[in-house]
Structure 1
């Protein structure tokens, strides 16, 4: 129920998969394996931080998603992403 209320309140499309009935894929787009894989990568990525304060959780999630999006990008895109994280001050100190 909470997922339904949350998705309605935020205008997000919510697709349900019924695992008990063996449903793993819906419309060849929604895959349980993709969700599980992303959750696993997120847990592994957050492990070195030894816990994250709820106050800063969104910042960590944003950083993870940006890293996910640029990991297969070209060198310029990866460099831009890393510089954005490091901040202009750090970049200027290194040059």
Structure 2
């Protein structure tokens, strides 16, 4: 079965029935294809999808800040890193993990 995700990308999944799509926890599925026809997922809610995706991105950012930029921030005190290096690392994470917008 082919599905269309919230960002209009298509993906092949191993599901035989629309039921599997509805109740699989895939709230980002906006439509599914059956015999060449796209059918809208009635439980799809773009605003809910955006909120969910942004929560996931926020968690990923927090983890990367903890692992990558927090040690750099504290090393500024010891002068082994500069504030500019730390700010550049923070911006890199933001660029690599942008928030989803409507």
**Do both proteins adopt the same fold according to a TM-score greater than 0.5, normalized to the shorter chain?**
no
Normalised to the residue count of structure 2, the TM-score between the two structures is 0.28
Comparing both chains, which one has the higher relative contact order based on Cα–Cα distances under 8 Å and sequence gaps of 6 or more?
A: 2
Question: Computing the radius of gyration over CA atoms, which structure comes out larger, 1 or 2?
Answer: 2
Greater strand share, structure number: 2
